Amino acid sequence: MSLADRLVALVPAARVSTEFGQLTADVPAGSWVAAATAYRDDPGTDLSCFDWLSAVDELDDGFAVLLHCYSVTHRHRALLRTRVPRSAPVLDSLHEVFAGAAWHERETHEMFGIAFAGHPDPAPLLLPDGFEGHPLRKDFVLASRVAKEWPGAQEPGGAQPRRRARPLGVPEDRA
């Protein structure tokens, strides 16, 4: 029985595929910890190593949370994905499954605003004290893009100016 088959047997709601030599499993948020534990404890992965955890802002679709693992012995890669809604971005913590996940969850919480239920220390990690917002969200407006003229507003060499371009991530009313 392949690892993909064993993972589906342990987490029936998972959609598993193998592409480019990497196992990819899309799991429901409620099965997130079970899927990570199943992968870690599978005899075919030989005590896989936690590699990284992060997120992707998918705008209206919410946030895709990604967990990448690697089996050193078998040179096997696995990517576990789940999705959390933008309105309530909460996911169970993996710090008890992979100790190294704690730091990555803190960073993901700080940069995307995704809360990890059961995390032992969700304190800020990278941003200065008092920072407001989550800078890796696509709706986060960078202050420098509003305060400073956007590059490309004029052709190099003094040619005819272009129409004023609205900077990426700046709402219409702020350009």
Backbone angles phi, psi at 49, to 5 degrees: -100, 135
Query: Residue 139 forms beta bridges with which residues?
Result: none
Q: What is the residue-averaged pLDDT of the chain?
A: 82
Backbone angles phi, psi at 7, to 5 degrees: -65, -40
pLDDT digits (tens, 9 = 90+) for 51-66: 999 999 999 999 999 9
Query: Are residues 122 and 116 in contact, defined by beta-carbon separation less than 8 angstroms?
Result: yes
Q: Which of 78, 54, 77, 74 is nearest to 65 (CA)?
A: 54
For the chain, the first-to-last Cα distance in angstroms comes to 57
Residue 153 pLDDT: 53
Burial of 53 (0-12, 13-18, 19+ CB in 10 A): buried
Rama region for 123: left / alpha / beta (φ>0; ψ in -120 to 50; rest): beta
pLDDT digits (tens, 9 = 90+) for 12-62: 888 888 877 788 889 999 999 988 988 888 776 665 688 999 999 999 999
**Considering the domain 3-123 in this protein, what is its CATH number?**
3.30.460.80
Query: Residue 26 forms beta bridges with which residues?
Result: 15, 81
Confidence of residue 148 (pLDDT cuts 50, 70, 90): low
The whole model's pTM is what?
0.77
* Residue 1: CA count within 13 A, CB half-sphere: 9
